[in-house]
Structure 1
Amino acid sequence: MRVEEGFQPNPIHLPHPYTEDVVLPSLFKRIFPHQSEIQSELVRWGNEIRGPIQAIGALCDPPSSHPSLRQYDEWGRRIDELSTSPGWRALKAITFKEGLISIAYERNKYAEWARVYSFAKIVIYNADARMILCPFSMTDGCARVLELFGTEEMKRDILPRLLSRDPSQGFTAGQWMTERPGGSDLTHTETTAKLVRESTSAESFGSQEWCLDGFKWFSSATDGNLSVALARTGPTSLGSRSLSLFIVPLRLPLIASPPRSTLGINTDALPSLYPGATRSNNIYVHRLKNKIGTHPVPTAELSLNGAKGYLIGSLNEGVKTISPVLNITRLHSAILSVSSLSRCLQIARSYASIRTISSSAGGDTLLRDLPLHTFTLAKVSVLYRALTHLTFGVVCLLGRSENGNATMEENAMLRLLTPVAKGFVASYAVGGMEECMIALGGQGYMEETGIGRMIRDASVEKIWEGTANVLALDVIRACAGGRVMNAFSAWGMKAISQNTLDESRTQLPLSTVVYRPIFFLLGQVASGLFLLEHACWAVREGEETAAADLEAFRRWVRDGPVDGGSGGGTGGA
């Protein structure tokens, strides 16, 4: 039989990533005041993603397009030439032009919703962005650190490039914390920094110039322009209390002019570094990491051998100074997980609308009409709703905090729920994605669907910026003194007391005092409360999604997350 003969499966139709999403339109209608502008922009952006951006993203998938490293030239000189694919560079240019990071800092226009608007555009983009938002998440964190702690010169010369919409001028930044001795444990950081008494650089950015030596085991923005890096400036015996934070350019000078061309070449397609006009900042790239996912990201091991760095913030307060980077990148991590789960659910639901099987009653039946199949997808849908409401609930808190109008209680909630959202969402999203893959049967196991790629990529979110155990310990530290938990309890009681839906009153789970179960319990309870807030709003406003929103809250409280998502969660509530 020829392949054209016999049964021909119908291709799935991917819906619009925003307008046809089961959560986002209703959620953003509730939390956004700038409804008309943002609505039209998200529709326009979704159309771009569904069209040319998906095609560009596919250019990053073949192994031949993955990053490569050429350490020496033909004359034996160390050059550390890093090459990325045209697809990767195009996605980077798109991310700059769309202002996905800069929007979060346009508070004069959007006030506390600037951060929410930024993440709204990111969440519908991430599934097709091939992890380009990994370096941009760190760029976002670096911008916030400079906004809070940078010198006037840094704010004048560097910050505008981090927030640029011009790909030829924009900077991307990394963060260099992870080292071989400790991973997330910064106590054993080996990188040291020594003050250069007489600066030899015209680019001091109004800060002290230091000389850094050390080895960074995990660098996820090796094709970027600069990084924020922790280095030891005091005795080893003080552990993390003798670490300081520095801006470290990958090449010098940091602000270089792009090469001029008289050949009509579009310089936007060139890498952001201009090796013809710069020299290495004594940074050697030793190898690219061989990862199970995030293949387009040029992740490397590199050493600093007398690299120039410029102090940010106060001496020996590096952990405190870098904390805004961690808070922002943790929410980016949660957003990526939510975005990937959304796409996998869209694929599974679309497949259920075209795939038929023989019915016991005779004839063919669509998968969506089989109760057992829809039961599984309904559980994933409830999970997606809960994780999305949790994530954007915390994003709203971040927006208020950055805008300066958050209450003390809201700042305490932000401190508690940022690690909870990151760890809880990352732990359970992959389990939901696997259920979507299974819902397609053998077709789901094929690379062409994209589900396998998204599972591999999202799996790193369980590790990057803190595993569940590390984040659980962070939550325990946040709860010291009682203020944070008092704020959380007060918010929970307020959400419940405002509930006028008698049929949805349910006893939420409150038990256990072990670190990891407490961590997942907080995530489950917080997700339920955010779902409850939205369901109450939907019923009051007569939203067409109200019945589904209410049922999602009921099922979340009754069943909890999809089993197998994390191992160590609370299970069914």
Structure 2
Amino acid sequence: MAATTHTVTNQVPPLVGYDVFAADRVLAEAVGRHLEPGLLDEARRELGELGRAAGSAQAQAWGGQANEYPPKLRTHDRYGHRLDEVEFHPAWHRLLGHAVSAGLTDAWGRPGGHVRRAAGFLVWTQAEAGHGCPLSMTHAAVPALRTDPVLAAEWEPLLTSHVYEEGLRPAREKPGVIFGMGMTEKQGGTDVRANTTRAEPLSVDGEYLLTGHKWFCSAPMSDGFLVLAQAPGGLSCFLVPRVLADGARNVFAIQRLKDKLGNRSNASAEVEFDGTWARRVGEEGRGVRTIIEMVAATRLDCVLGSAALMRQAVAQAVHHSAYRSAFGGLLIEKPLMRNVLADLAVESEAATTLGLRLAAAYDADTEQERAFLRIAVPVAKYWVTKRCSAVVGEALECLGGNGYVEESGMPRLLREAPLNSIWEGSGNVQALDVLRAIGREPRALDAFLQEVGEARGADHRLDAAVRDLLTDLADLGSAETRARRLAERMALVLQGSLLLRWAPAGVADAFCASRLGGDWGSAFGTLPHGLDLASVVERARPVAD
């Protein structure tokens, strides 16, 4: 019956079988810009292989399966013994294993390592975002562990390994490990100094027993965790292994898994410690200072993860519009749709360009770049992660009703979009951290303004926005009330400066005319008349091989 009454026409082919890296002109250009010539050929080869894998039907199927069959908690075995294990669909392990083998936990000390890893993270997590959480924490644990050379020598080679092995065994028996983190507790949330988990020292220096809970513990099947607890000397950082050196399971009672809005492939758990063995990392009472480098690195991954979600959403919207016809022509040719797509593309390009610039600062590792990162990371984390939900929601609308059904993949992107604005400190936390950096570390603000000043004179709208920002910075009397607005302005002038230096003229013009020039509405698709929107949209179009 369907064969004679229902002929399917005007349907868009799936965006599959393409190189996610090569099809992203913005990302490919950023890699070429920030890597030394001697590293480029190898990096492009690696990222091309990863990009083709990410765009394959196989990886897309893994992403769907990992979310359709979320992790399950097994608290006890059939005899009543505690297991405290989480079962994942095989697709999860394949995604995570492919990411580890591609070096997405290996950046520290590797030439161009942060740019290469950032680009790879942005490419691969477009296939599935949830497994980015353990990748991020494993990568970010390295600088915290380096505060203790003995611990770093033991764990860093495993954290940066390109071999993934699932299952719980002593770390020394595994070719590579995955790390998680446990900071927040029920009563405190972001206020970690309100933590009540106790750390009682043992006779061996640096060893403790922990008693307490963690309200959010991501990736509970990791091999080790960095956690905060109250030691006699104050809040301190500790390494908690899941399995002890003798093969016995550490006390790590998983009470339940969170039922989350998105990020459903990734297990987030509530855990209890009751005489749990731990090793102190850094000095007693310096836990926040010890773990802060890990937090900064994971905040950058929030920026990159949001940029990846934006890029995938925009790619799907442009791809759909390039094939779908309505009212006598292709959607991509309709002036209003072109305005929407161009506006989305500009936002996506600004996010990617900023994320890779921050990664390059990590690679440079100079005093100037470290000062720049101190303020640019919370600025970027605040703004880019907030823009993500708006971009993904508008991109979904470009597909109409087809975008609202699960088969399109767009609902999964939309559910994932708010995560990065909450993880590692919500908007208020980031905005207040910006104020803290301005007040306590004048060198950070100087470095930030010098970076923005690299485009001085290139566009009168940027110059005017910078003058307005300097006026705001001159009067910080009511700064806390205005902290979000200040962080937003700082993000916009930074993105504007980067795009004026490195993006095509059409993209930079569209950004400055809308985000800095004031001629922009409250929704996407309100770019002012006279811009070269066709070139902006074409630049964002993913072209399958």
Equivalent positions of 1:473-484 (< 5 A) are: 473-481=432-440, 482-484=442-444
- Alignment match, 2:157: 160
Distance in 2 separating the partners of 1:492 and 1:71: 52
Q: How far does residue 233 in structure 1 lie from its aligned partner after superposition?
A: 1.1
Equivalent positions of 1:24-103 (< 5 A) are: 24-33=27-36, 34-51=39-56, 52-62=58-68, 65-102=69-106
- Alignment match, 2:431: 472
SS at match of 2:351: helix
SS at match of 1:471: helix
Q: Which amino acid aligns with 1:96?
A: V
- Alignment match, 1:8: 9
Distance in 2 separating the partners of 1:32 and 1:149: 28
Q: Is residue 228–residue 247 contact of structure 1 (8 Å, CA) maintained in 2?
A: yes
SS at match of 2:2: coil
Q: Which amino acid aligns with 2:464?
A: Q
Distance in 1 separating the partners of 2:523 and 2:200: 48
- Alignment match, 1:444: 403
- Alignment match, 1:251: 243
Identity of aligned residues (%): 28
CA distance 1:279–1:492, shift in 2 (3 Å): same
Q: How far does residue 67 in structure 1 lie from its aligned partner after superposition?
A: 0.8
Equivalent positions of 1:447-526 (< 5 A) are: 447-481=406-440, 482-497=442-457, 499=458, 507-508=464-465, 510-511=468-469, 512=472, 513=479, 514-526=482-494
After superposition, give the CA deviation of every residue in 1:320-368 in whole Å (9 maximum; x if it has no partner).
Answer: 000111010001111111001101101100110111112xxxxx21001
Q: How far does residue 35 in structure 1 lie from its aligned partner after superposition?
A: 2.4
Q: How far does residue 163 in structure 1 lie from its aligned partner after superposition?
A: 0.9
Q: Is residue 325–residue 331 contact of structure 2 (8 Å, CA) maintained in 1?
A: yes
Q: Which amino acid aligns with 1:144?
A: P
- Alignment match, 2:298: 329
Q: CA RMSD in A?
A: 2.2
Distance in 2 separating the partners of 1:341 and 1:85: 26
Q: TM-score, normalised by structure 2?
A: 0.86
Q: TM-score, normalised by structure 1?
A: 0.82
Q: How far does residue 562 in structure 1 lie from its aligned partner after superposition?
A: 7.9
Q: How far does residue 55 in structure 1 lie from its aligned partner after superposition?
A: 2.7
Number of residue-to-residue matches in the alignment: 497
Q: How far does residue 532 in structure 1 lie from its aligned partner after superposition?
A: 1.6
CA distance 1:564–1:142, shift in 2 (3 Å): farther
SS at match of 1:479: helix
Equivalent positions of 1:171-186 (< 5 A) are: 171-186=177-192
Q: Which amino acid aligns with 1:519?
A: A
CA distance 1:21–1:494, shift in 2 (3 Å): closer
Distance in 1 separating the partners of 2:519 and 2:387: 11
SS at match of 1:23: helix
Q: Is residue 354–residue 498 contact of structure 2 (8 Å, CA) maintained in 1?
A: yes
Q: Which amino acid aligns with 1:343?
A: Q
Distance in 2 separating the partners of 1:19 and 1:11: 21
Q: Is residue 213–residue 271 contact of structure 2 (8 Å, CA) maintained in 1?
A: yes
Q: How far does residue 561 in structure 1 lie from its aligned partner after superposition?
A: 8.4
- Alignment match, 1:389: 353
After superposition, give the CA deviation of every residue in 1:248-285 in whole Å (9 maximum; x if it has no partner).
Answer: 011223xx7xxxxxxxxxxxxxxxxxxxxx33211110
Q: How far does residue 287 in structure 1 lie from its aligned partner after superposition?
A: 0.5
Q: How far does residue 106 in structure 1 lie from its aligned partner after superposition?
A: 4.3
SS at match of 1:167: coil
Distance in 1 separating the partners of 2:93 and 2:311: 25
Equivalent positions of 1:404-443 (< 5 A) are: 406-407=366-367, 409-443=368-402
Structure 1: 5+ residue stretches without partners: 200-206, 236-241, 257-277, 359-363, 536-544, 566-573
Distance in 2 separating the partners of 1:97 and 1:560: 46
Q: How far does residue 286 in structure 1 lie from its aligned partner after superposition?
A: 0.4
Q: How far does residue 82 in structure 1 lie from its aligned partner after superposition?
A: 1.8
Q: Tell me, yes or no, if structure 1 residue 170 matches structure 2 residue 176.
A: yes
Q: Which amino acid aligns with 1:340?
A: L
Equivalent positions of 1:322-401 (< 5 A) are: 322-358=291-327, 364-401=328-365
Q: Is residue 180–residue 220 contact of structure 2 (8 Å, CA) maintained in 1?
A: yes
Distance in 1 separating the partners of 2:519 and 2:138: 35
SS at match of 2:454: helix
- Alignment match, 1:275: none
CA distance 1:564–1:297, shift in 2 (3 Å): farther
After superposition, give the CA deviation of every residue in 1:213-242 in whole Å (9 maximum; x if it has no partner).
Answer: 11100011101011001110137xxxxxx2
SS at match of 2:238: strand
Distance in 2 separating the partners of 1:323 and 1:411: 14
Q: Which amino acid aligns with 2:52?
A: N
- Alignment match, 1:531: 499
Distance in 2 separating the partners of 1:283 and 1:416: 36
SS at match of 2:222: coil
CA distance 1:159–1:521, shift in 2 (3 Å): same
Q: Which amino acid aligns with 2:121?
A: I
After superposition, give the CA deviation of every residue in 1:437-467 in whole Å (9 maximum; x if it has no partner).
Answer: 0111101111111111112112111111011
Q: Is residue 376–residue 448 contact of structure 2 (8 Å, CA) maintained in 1?
A: no
- Alignment match, 1:265: none
Q: Tell me, yes or no, if structure 1 residue 190 matches structure 2 residue 187.
A: no
Equivalent positions of 1:198-209 (< 5 A) are: 199=204, 208-209=206-207
CA distance 1:384–1:76, shift in 2 (3 Å): same
Distance in 2 separating the partners of 1:563 and 1:178: 35
Q: Which amino acid aligns with 1:489?
A: L
Distance in 1 separating the partners of 2:414 and 2:66: 16
Q: Is residue 219–residue 302 contact of structure 1 (8 Å, CA) maintained in 2?
A: yes
